[in-house]
Amino acid sequence: MPILGQHLIAEYYACLPELVQNSAALEQALLEAATQAKAEPVHLTWRFFEPYGISGILIIAQSHISIHTWPEYGFVSADFFTCGQENSPWIIYSALKKALQSQRTETYFHYRGQMGEGQAISYLPEGRHFQLAMQQKRTEHKPGLRERWFMSQSQDLLFNLQTDKNKDSVLLSRISPFQKIGLHQSHTLGKILVINDLVVANETDAFVFHEALTHSALLAHPAPARVLVLGAGEGGSVREVLKHQGVARIFAQEQDAILFEIGYEFLGGKPLSDPRVETHFVSSQTFLGACKQVFDVVIVDGMDTALQDRYLQSDAFLEQVQHLLADVSVLVLPLPSPLTEYSAYKTLLGLLKTRFAFCECYWAAASAASGGLQAFARLRKGTFDNQFFRKQDCLAMENQNLFRYFNTEIFQASRHLPSFFR
């Protein structure tokens, strides 16, 4: 049997930790390494681990490149498998070593497919890898992924989503101080917002979540004038709050200013330009610790993102936010899925009921990641009727075509829970 391929395993030590945990830098390094090796990228995917560490694989037309990182040790383990007898694995190895700024490496090399006597298996310490490939002059090659898949992740469930492969799907790619943010075009879901290569929102159905979250809170209050949106993200919930003319002031807290600006620039919103909106680009904990205001409605826009603020599901958060609620007020927040994350759902719901005399669950249609149903909690403070709902105002907004999902019937129906919610 002839030599069918070459397999190189590389261990990179003493790498820069900030590079090892940065998927954007790693992606650039992988694609540039493929460029130098004259390989053709086909598909790239990442998996992120708690509290840190990344695994990634780049499928190339010639086979694959995979890496696994341990930022706490500055260590990266990688393997490169290329078909044929070209020395391209060594080109990829050297390009990644430079990109990771590794101080020491170890390599293991194996021909694939050669049988019998002469099978070449070797352990090659630093400085003894093949140099011939590095002397070959190669034509310039700019790789472009033939197709691109992203994941929507919920606990141990992964849902894959493909971008539009008939044209350039990358609408935007930026690196903020906190995360990698991308906006891509999907054939079926329109624009998709991707944070650290995980899908967090899409143009086709994101309005369902934001409308159910915001209007169910605002219309359940007699006269909401001051509203706080925690974790404003790309601004979807703020845009919905702006539809209520009686709201005089909106405080929008979001740690990542670049993410909020992207929503303004590319997702059809105007939160940054509306004089009623006051933005605070700090962490939720910092904001709540310093805020001296009180609010009629507090909305926690707590979708799972790369910044996943677990403080928003803690007893310390509930204690702080209670001090910001007016005498008559409403607090609303999304709950973990009672289908796919029942234990977390039950724990948070129990915590809410210990803090608030009135805690009401409701639901909305949602994506597959939440089992098709999104659960919410609506908490009231004050003596007004717990069944209160401004039906006439809601009907007036319906007549103005301000809703795509929400309406009076949806509000009433959402309070009738499936049995498993209980």
Quote the tokens at residue 229: 């949106």
CATH code of the domain occupying 164-202: 2.30.140.10
CA distance 275 to 260: 16
CB 262 within 8 A of CB 195: no
CA distance 345 to 331: 17
* pLDDT tens per residue across all 422 residues of the chain: 566 788 889 999 999 888 888 888 888 888 888 888 888 888 888 888 877 889 999 988 888 999 999 988 999 999 988 886 565 788 888 889 998 999 988 888 777 775 444 444 443 434 333 332 333 333 333 344 444 555 554 445 555 566 655 555 777 777 777 777 888 887 777 788 887 767 777 788 888 999 999 999 999 999 999 999 998 888 889 999 999 999 999 999 998 888 888 877 666 655 567 899 999 999 888 999 899 999 999 999 875 443 345 666 778 888 889 999 999 999 999 988 888 778 888 888 999 999 888 899 999 987 655 557 889 999 999 877 778 899 999 999 999 999 999 999 999 999 998 888 77
Alpha carbon 91 to its chain's center? 33
Kindly report the CATH class assigned to 206-421: alpha beta
Per the residue annotation, which of 68, 291, 314, 359 is the catalytic one? Answer: 68
CA distance readout (Å), 1 to 81, 114, 121: 18, 5, 16
- Which has the closest alpha carbon to 295: 252, 325, 333? 325
Compute φ and ψ for 13, nearest 5 degrees. Answer: -110, 160
What residues pair up with 59 in beta bridges, in sequence order? 43, 64
Per the residue annotation, which of 83, 110, 291, 314 is the catalytic one? Answer: 83
Task: Give start-end residues of each CATH 3.60.90.10 domain in the chain.
Answer: 5-135
Contacts of 324 (CB under 8 A, 6+ apart): 228, 288, 291, 293, 294, 295, 298
- Whether 83 sits among the annotated catalytic residues: the reply is yes
Compute φ and ψ for 46, nearest 5 degrees. Answer: -130, 155
Per the residue annotation, which of 23, 63, 154, 414 is the catalytic one? Answer: 63
- Whether 280 sits among the annotated catalytic residues: the reply is no
CATH code of the domain occupying 5-135: 3.60.90.10
What residues pair up with 373 in beta bridges, in sequence order? 365
- Whether 416 sits among the annotated catalytic residues: the reply is no
Task: Give start-end residues of each CATH 2.30.140.10 domain in the chain.
Answer: 164-202
Handedness of CA 243, 244, 248, 249 (dihedral sign): negative
Task: Give start-end residues of each CATH 3.40.50.150 domain in the chain.
Answer: 206-421
